[in-house]
A = this chain, B = another copy of it.
């Protein structure tokens, strides 16, 4: 029965979007966006999805398209924990089944059903699984303990990006751009002078970047409580997991001192494709509750402060890249490959392999790349 739902009409409709990995957890919304009184609509992987909470406060994700005449259920009401269509009043329960027909004798046709997506709430977000419901397993969700609201104070931000989600992943996996795109907030000349390592473990990709003897920009220095002009060593550890779930831990210590003597700021960065060319970018900072009020101020400072470079510098760049990419395949554009790209390329290769496996096709042929290793850079990238 469930498999049948999986291969329903709604899937054939999404066939133009087959380049997405379907059997994966994606962030659909922050937890605070999804309510029990008013439904919420968002396009995810090209599909209109309605999100709401049922009578038990569980987050529900359904196709935002009534089974009867395709009206957006998100414009309807939540009545006794079920969703009422705004057009003719049909009601749908958490599994997508129509449970109420107000007209005539009230019988409900068996096929009056909208697609329901497995969903769960964790790390302050509502996650949904667009693929085969039978394979939706909470254990597959990667860990972001620092934004678990049970133990942490968190603050989150959202940006809508008019670019393919892999361009955003490229951006986050190669922070060398701080120096050029964000010279007044996040970067400095020390970054290009620093070193970078990357590698992978199964489907996880990591990039470790270090800058030495750096004079931080005021925005970063203030966030870490460092007096202006102090020379520091900074490291930025990025972990990527499919389909686009990243953690970034930035650490700072006095120049030449061991990392253990420094401070860290962990953040989560979750990319969910809206369409083939647009992306929902969710990010969040968290610090332990035991840090008290200071934590609350710091996570808010980080999110609010990052909004400006993200929105005014990264977004225009990503959109310009997408415009230049157009309908062309990334590899067909023959991008020059540099050592700084190692992590981003690994992540692209993982995604290509997973999507090809899911679709039963061969992955795109790998272009052999001879990357000259820089100090401390892992070498094999393909």
Which A residues form the contact surface with B (CB < 8 A)? 9, 12-13, 48, 64-65, 67-72, 75, 84-90, 98, 101-105, 107, 109, 111-113, 167, 170, 174, 176-177, 179-181, 192, 195-196, 316-317, 320-321, 323-326, 328, 332-341, 372, 374-375, 377
Contact = CB atoms under 8 A, between A and B. Distances in A.
A105 B196 CA distance: 11
A177 B76 CA distance: 13
Given A70-B324, A89-B179, A104-B375, 8 more contacts: A13-B326, A48-B324, A75-B320, A86-B181, A104-B196, A104-B338, A104-B377, A112-B338
Given A48-B324, A87-B177, A335 B68 contact: yes
A104 B209 CA distance: 11
Given A48-B324, A375-B104, A89 B192 contact: yes
Nearest to A369: B109
A280 B121 CA distance: 45
A158 B316 CA distance: 27
* Residue with the highest number of chain B CB atoms closer than 10 Å, among A98, A102, A179: A102
Contacts of A12: 332
Contacts of A170: 69
Contact of A98 (B334, B336, B341): B336
Contact of A70 (B103, B176, B333): B333
B336 A109 contact: yes
Nearest to A316: B75
Contact of A68 (B67, B87, B338): B338
A317 B87 contact: yes
Top 4 nearest A-B pairs (CB, nearest first) are: A104-B374, A112-B336, A70-B324, A89-B180
10 contacts: A69-B167, A70-B333, A84-B180, A88-B174, A89-B180, A101-B338, A103-B374, A104-B338, A104-B375, A111-B336
Nearest to A321: B70
Contacts of A101: 338
B321 A180 contact: no
Given A85-B180, A89-B180, A340-B88, A335 B105 contact: no
Contacts of A103: 176, 192, 338-340, 374
Nearest to A167: B69
A133 to B, nearest CB: 19
A53 B338 CA distance: 27
B339 A104 contact: yes
B372 A69 contact: no
A323 B101 CA distance: 24
Contacts of A87: 177, 180-181, 317, 321
* Residue with the highest number of chain B CB atoms closer than 10 Å, among A69, A107, A176, A325: A69
Nearest to A70: B324
A116 to B, nearest CB: 15
